[in-house]
Amino acid sequence: MLIVFFIGVCIGSTTSGKIDIGDVVSLDGDDRIDQQQTDSNGGDGMGADGKMAQSFTPSLPILTRVELLMRRIGNPSGDVKVSIRSSVDGRDLTSISIPAVDLPTSYNWVEFDFHDILVIPGRQYYIVFHQCCDYLFWGCIHKDRYPGGEAWYYGESVQWNWEPAYKWDFAFKTYGRYIIDSKYSSIGGVISTLQEYSQKFYADNMVVAGSDGDTIVYVPDDYPSIQEAINHANTGDTIIVRDGIYTENIKVNKSGLTIKSENGPNLTIVKAADSDNHIFDVAADNVSIIGFTIEGATGENGIWIAGLYIHDSYHCSVYNNIFQNDWYGVRLSHVSNSILIDNIANNNKNVGFIISYSHNNIIMDNQAYRNMSTGILLGSSSYNVLFNNTANNNRDFGIRLYTSSGNFLSNNTASNNKIGIYLDYSSKNNILINNTVDDNNGGIYLHMSSKNTLLIIGWLIISVTLKLMEIFSLIFTMI
């Protein structure tokens, strides 16, 4: 027998203090080294009012601190500053200053622990060292040891312009964490972080990729098809697709490409040339697919295929697309640290969004409706974030977790489905917060699942720990 206690406790706000733009509320769990280059055969300095920078490519969405290999000569006065920027000559996203005299007199690691900030994994950022005086040095190596970035210099010797040194790297370490770690300390902090992350992602994607010197090509101006443009592209290139209907099955096997429509999904449609093959088949890292309607991968011969299939990849972004009349709208398999945001999956023959064997991904602000099975399905996947999605009017399940653990589901809506949210077969240690499930035959079902926590604003169900040998239903109607 299962006994569920409803404890009438108003949770209210669980954050303390104000969340500034670019800041996040810290979660439990230590941060970890994300990017590093630790070799040095000397050091460089740019003199008073000079700057040095190292570009890097984070893999974690929260940047917590950096360490730099530094030294000083003498007893300098003034403060040095270290900041993080998204472009080398842009504004500081966060910064911290320390007295120059606190730098060591021989090369050693110096920690700069600024306010944690949100970053987009796979995008390039810059550690900028602001020099206040002479005789301050940052350890470096005059070889290309870090593939995710390079050294930059600003000062009198380069006519007060930023100049890259593509074959050199400074010595640095960056630290970060996932938005959702294995422990949760502040529910309000997590939600605030996700809301800010969404705003940051939208803002960053208003800028046309390729503006830092990478090539931008247009379809059909430069190449007659999307596939031809990909075949001729290099890492970092942006492919912009003009309005029209394109009938193709596209393979993306080059990392770092941005493939986007010029004017959005209603005007740029990609249809399957072969309905038994994926329309977009992505097997590369750091790929962005933005602004298409993708339809017709129906699998007429019983082949389970998708409008967009991403596999064995990380740091991919899928933004502002419509997936319809496919077998699966979107399928992720063995994918990590990727983002699905502001997409629509409707009228697909099976599942709208299926995420399998995939971890530490963010699925946010998407809509999944009128799919013939499930709106959003996680299978054998952990530490993913499902935030502010809508999964309505699907035949079977709005949101289903199958043998999936440690996921965070918040502010989602699942209505007019057979079952709103379904946790199935050893799905455990998931956190469900403030989700709306109404007008379903069953609201929230747990089947053979344990140690999940369900939280509704104002009501708390703590650690549903019994292993359920039979299906039971928790039907919550949230008005």
**Domain architecture of the chain: domains with CATH:** 32-177 (2.60.120), 203-474 (2.160.20.10)
Distance separating alpha carbons of residues 409 and 419, to the nearest angstrom: 16
- pLDDT reported for residue 188: 61
**Residue 97 β-bridge partners:** 81
Q: Are 372 and 171 in contact (CB under 8 A)?
A: no
Do residues 150 and 55 make contact, with C-beta atoms less than 8 angstroms apart? Answer: yes
232-270: per-residue pLDDT in tens?
Answer: 999 989 999 999 999 999 999 999 999 999 999 999 999
Query: How confident is the model at residue 181, as a pLDDT?
Result: 53
The predicted model scores a pTM of: 0.73
In sequence order, the β-bridge partners of residue 56 are: 125
Question: What DSSP element (H or E) covers 204?
Answer: helix 187-204
Single-letter amino acid, residue 284: A
Beta bridge partners of 260: 240, 290
Q: What is d(CA 474, CA 76) in angstroms, rounded to the nearest whole number? A: 66
Q: What is the mean pLDDT of residues 286-303?
A: 92
How many DSSP H helices and E strands does the chain contain?
2, 45
Instruction: Give the span between the Cα atoms of 185 and 190, in whole angstroms.
Output: 9
Minimal CA–CA distance to 429: which of 385, 472, 383, 388? 383
| Out of 6-20, 123-137, 182-196, 340-354, least confident range | 6-20
Mean predicted confidence (pLDDT) in 102-106: 95
Q: How far is CA 371 from CA 296, 329, 401, 443, in A?
A: 14, 9, 16, 18
pLDDT at 425: 79
Q: Note the pLDDT of residue 25.
A: 32
Q: What is the pLDDT of residue 458?
A: 38
